[in-house]
Structure 1
Amino acid sequence: MINLIAESATLPQAWRSRVVGKIAGANLKVIRMDEAGIPSESHADFDEALFVLEGSMTLDVEGELISMAAGDFFVVPAGKSHRVLEGSRGVLFLIDAE
């Protein structure tokens, strides 16, 4: 068993994910967010699922702003440019196929 909130507290740096498991070719990751946000990225070959465990996050998906709070889940479709805006903070659980 892994407590994802506790696991995120051990990460040495915000926005650096740690793979906590794998299932059916997907990576299960935990990320500690900070106020800095992250620049735009996209993944041509896979969707990316984001689940806010703690805190809040504003996601910009090709100009559409999505405000997320603890308990919210969103899937970024493959090929869509997305970024996390400044002011986001907390713990994020992410599933991708990297």
Structure 2
Amino acid sequence: MSKAALIPLASSLPEAWRSSVVARLGDRQLKVLRMDAASYPAESHAYEEALLVLDGLMRLSIAGRVHEVRSGEVYVVPAGQAHAVAEGSFGTLVIIDQG
């Protein structure tokens, strides 16, 4: 695959917060998902994770502080850092992580 329309792809997914793998890049994967206003529980990974908001807003909660990540912004979560999504997010999110 060399070209993908990420926003329409995310919009067509049957559930919010369920990602779809768009591509694999070596040991990394590029995923897309549709955010909604619901919160998403805390998780952590043994690898860093880049969270890129294509459109909308993600309310990322880390260590009790909410960071607003807006369209065109990326937040790189360090390996081992617990992170969650607070209520009020919406739009399209791209995740680059280890696959």
TM-score by length of 2: 0.94
- Equivalent residue, structure 1, for 2:22: 20
- Equivalent residue, structure 2, for 1:72: 73
Choose the corresponding residue for 2:33, options 28, 31, 37: 31
Q: Which secondary structure state, in structure 2, belongs to the residue aligned with residue 71 of structure 1?
A: coil
2:65, 2:98 → 1: CA distance? 24
Count of residue pairs the alignment pairs up: 97
Once the two structures are superposed, residues 42-63 of structure 1 have per-residue CA deviations (whole angstroms, 9 ceiling, x without a partner) of 00x2001000001001101122
Q: Which secondary structure state, in structure 1, belongs to the residue aligned with residue 10 of structure 2?
A: helix
5 Å-filtered alignment, 1:76-91, equals 76-91=77-92
1:9, 1:63 → 2: CA distance? 30
Q: Which runs of 4+ in 1 moved over 6 A?
A: none
Identity, in percent, stands at 46
Structure 1 residue 64 displacement after superposition? 2.8
2:49, 2:63 → 1: CA distance? 15
Structure 1 residue 94 displacement after superposition? 0.3
2:88, 2:65 → 1: CA distance? 17
Q: Which secondary structure state, in structure 2, belongs to the residue aligned with residue 52 of structure 1?
A: strand
Q: Which secondary structure state, in structure 1, belongs to the residue aligned with residue 17 of structure 2?
A: coil
- Equivalent residue, structure 1, for 2:7: 5
1:25, 1:64 → 2: CA distance? 30
Structure 1 residue 81 displacement after superposition? 0.4
